[in-house]
Structure 1
Amino acid sequence: MEELKDKVVLVTGGGRGLGEAISHTLSSAGAIVVVADIRDDLAHKVSGEVQANGFQALPLVLDITNEEQAQTAIDKIVSQYGRLDALINNAGTDLTVSIEELSIKDWDRILAVNLRAPFILSKLVLPVMKEQGSGHIINIASTASKRAWANASAYHASKWGLLGFSHALHVEARPYNIKVTALVAGGMQTPFLLDRFPDIDVSKLQDPKNVAATIRFLLSTPEGTVIPEMTVLPLGESSWP
């Protein structure tokens, strides 16, 4: 089934983890996926795999915290394809330390990646989507936007902020037929958690392919319908209602 046939989708952090799963899932549904990542090798690896499977992908090296690079990236996509149908603000970072140990530099870095960059990219794609009369922005939030635990203050601040920003953006974008969704995702079997917490119970985490399938569903919702917020959790996660 190619329900997203020829839709142009920009995926940040597309080189591994959830971004990699999104790139494969959406391309197999017919989308042209722009695999954006700060690491050139990862962007080319994933886009090459997508192409080897017979689907369409474009590798894009992008530091999402750099507004000049972001503008150049949007211009390149629109110049090459004539449109941009969806933006998936997926890239994220964290540092597991207490507030006392967290440096101001690291606070600024985490907020820049997790919150400032989605604002910048959303701001830049809005004129494109307005002109074409449609579009969909999906911000990957987290259960960290709904609760709090120790040693993740910057991450919580960024994800609570991203959730609020998503709802504000939804209000401003909907008159122009642009959909905005905050996807609140529970723990996933990705390097984001596995690299930092080697003793984590993997059975309590969800396959990122399942979250990617949820994103495909969101992008396939009927015209005239928008889902401003959706939560997708591992079935075995017991610390969330």
Structure 2
Amino acid sequence: MDAYDYESLAGRVVLVTGGGSGLGAAICDTLARDGAHVAVVDINEASSHAVADEIGRGGGKAQAFTMDVGNEQAVIDSLENVVSRFGRLDAIINNAGVDVTIGIREMRTEDWHRVMATNLTGPFLLAKHGLAHLAPGGHIVNIASTAARRAWPNASAYHASKWGLMGLTHALHAELRGTGVKVSAVIAGGMRTPFLLDRFPDIDVELLQDPHNVARAVKFVLTQPPQTVIPEVMVLPMKETSWP
């Protein structure tokens, strides 16, 4: 971390999963505007390239990578490809997420496993194998949700994965802080992203926040002084209804 000013992301290499749309794209854009070199990682190849190309047209530095976060060998290979491309890795943003909105009686076992693979196993794999590339001062940021703080019907897999992600985050914070690697959770309230809007077209957008607002919180977490870590931060829209 001595090679650059901690208050700026200039020169830092940041990998963002789910970077091809929604909050992930907003995070990539926000960090690139502050000078980070962004690895835009998404299971959708076209989406990751579109975001990386847009950042490049704006004068930022980004490279697209295609990866399924639940595939261990793909995670290993992608991490090596990112380091080969950029020469280093300073932060991992575990943002990729999926949901299956259905009651437990109707939920298929394979849907449960798919949600867990993306939302919980993915961050585990990125952390486990990312540590081979993160130097002291490196940072892992897990994007959680108010679904990790309360529950509503027909979202058992999503709630379980996000509560589990918070447990993983705090466990890794305790385990890795002695090595100089920071681990943080950003708990995001409802956002105007396809994740919500595509599934709930009648939702009141006035109750939601711009994903760039949450991306600013990610940047804030990443730019703390070396002797400080933020284990978790919650970012809510002013009219949030999923948290008191």
TM score, norm. by length of structure 2: 0.96
Q: 2:151 aligns with which of 148, 152, 157?
A: 148
Q: Deviations over 1:38-76 (max 9, x none)?
A: 111101100000000001000001111111111001111
2:3 corresponds to 1:14: no
Show the 5 A alignment for 1:60-209.
60-129=65-134, 132-209=135-212
Q: Report the CA distance shift for 1:238/1:108 in structure 2 as closer, same or farther (over 3 A).
A: closer
* Matched residue type, 1:240: W
2:60 corresponds to 1:55: yes
CA shift for structure 1 position 240: 1.7
CA shift for structure 1 position 239: 4.2
**Structure-1 residue corresponding to 2:38:** 33
- Cα distance in structure 2, aligned partners of 1:228 and 1:99: 32
* Matched residue type, 2:143: I
CA shift for structure 1 position 81: 2.1
* Matched residue type, 2:70: T
SS at match of 1:4: coil
2:235 corresponds to 1:232: yes
- Cα distance in structure 1, aligned partners of 2:174 and 2:21: 31
CA shift for structure 1 position 216: 0.7
Percent identity over paired residues: 55
Residue 148 of structure 2 contacts residue 163 of structure 2 at CA under 8 Å; is this kept in 1?
yes
- Cα distance in structure 2, aligned partners of 1:125 and 1:239: 33
CA shift for structure 1 position 82: 2.3
TM score, norm. by length of structure 1: 0.97
Q: Deviations over 1:60-111 (max 9, x none)?
A: 0111111111100111112222211000000000011000000101001101
Residue 150 of structure 2 contacts residue 243 of structure 2 at CA under 8 Å; is this kept in 1?
no
